[in-house]
Amino acid sequence: MTPALRLEVLSAGDLDAIHAETLQVLEETGVFVEDDEALDIFADGGASIDRETGMVRIPGEVVEAAIAGCPQDDDGPVRFCNFDEGVMYVDPRSGERRDPTKADAGDAARLVDALRNIDSYGAAVRPTDVPAATAAVHGCEAALLNTSKGVGAEATSGWEVRVCAELGACIAGSLDALRDDAVVGFGTCPVSPLQLPRDATEVIVECARLGLSDTILSMAMAGASAPVTLAGALVAHNAEVLSGITLAQLTERGAPVVYGSSTTAMDLRYAAASVGSPEMALIGAAAAQIARRYKLPSCIAGA
């Protein structure tokens, strides 16, 4: 663990302006929500729902109450993990570039376990030699069997959350113990711009019901799926993350959440995300500041 690091790129006034603009976006533009159960939860929580279009408009007071309902972060030390999830694998023995397997997931977890500066394991690869519908569960099992560190599961449905939680409970001792001992954690991504697809809402809702931590991580791309300016991209990013956090708190007040960011700028040469760029560093630092404003833990993607 590393003592808390700070890179302040936004002033207090900047943070207030981004928050105010975010609330306006959520209340006036809204977010698209694909799943009927999530629409029901938003409706019961005071949001305005258009069933025909799937648009959800969330009043500012509902969003702010959701933020206030989250467990607060103590601004503790910085921790590091590998990022996920690789779609191809370079075999370290043969040099072959190929589809990853369940054994590869276990090897990656074993490597992370041996690296003392890495604090937890995120699903490095998704196994392709198992049924696609259960790949996240197989990957979680392979990781749990090969590392003593916390495991980030790549669940994309409520069912996968439940099964991976049961695997974690086998290590922690029970589902109740798992809430205090983060053997397994979860994460999900809204789709930019301003969409909560069914896989994201299922993970958010199930994690909230189980009382397990969920990282809600926007991957907006400035100049493509978000405005090109730093401020505009952060407003879109913040709206996506806060919509997920609000859904979690309307499902179960006090549900643990993590404010996540892998937002970056578009590489104009390839129309792809410029990961590891200076723009991403600025956006990541700003996202961490926003999370601190809300007193939430953050997960920020780097290089």
Residue-wise pLDDT tens digits, 264-291? 999 988 888 888 888 899 999 999 999 9
The predicted pLDDT at position 277 comes to 87
The predicted pLDDT at position 2 comes to 54
- The mean predicted confidence, pLDDT, of the chain is 94
The predicted pLDDT at position 8 comes to 87
- pLDDT higher at 108 or 271: 108
The predicted pLDDT at position 302 comes to 75
For Cα atoms 283, 64, 55, give the angle at the middle one, nearest 5 degrees: 80
In angstroms, the CA 287 to CA 218 distance is 10
Q: What are phi and psi of 237, to 5 degrees?
A: -55, -50
Locus of tokens 């025909």: 52
The predicted pLDDT at position 83 comes to 86
Q: What is the pTM of this model?
A: 0.94
The predicted pLDDT at position 121 comes to 96
The mean pLDDT value for 243-268 works out to 96
The predicted pLDDT at position 85 comes to 86
pLDDT cut 70: percent of the chain above it = 98
pLDDT of residue 176 exceeding 60, the answer is yes
In angstroms, the CA 201 to CA 220 distance is 18
pLDDT of residue 211 exceeding 90, the answer is yes
The answer to whether the CB of 139 falls within 8 A of the CB of 154 is yes
The answer to whether the CB of 60 falls within 8 A of the CB of 23 is yes
The mean pLDDT value for 120-129 works out to 95
The predicted pLDDT at position 44 comes to 98
The predicted pLDDT at position 3 comes to 56
44-48, 57-61, 153-157: lowest mean pLDDT where? 153-157
Q: Looking at this protein, which amino acid is placed at residue 103?
A: A
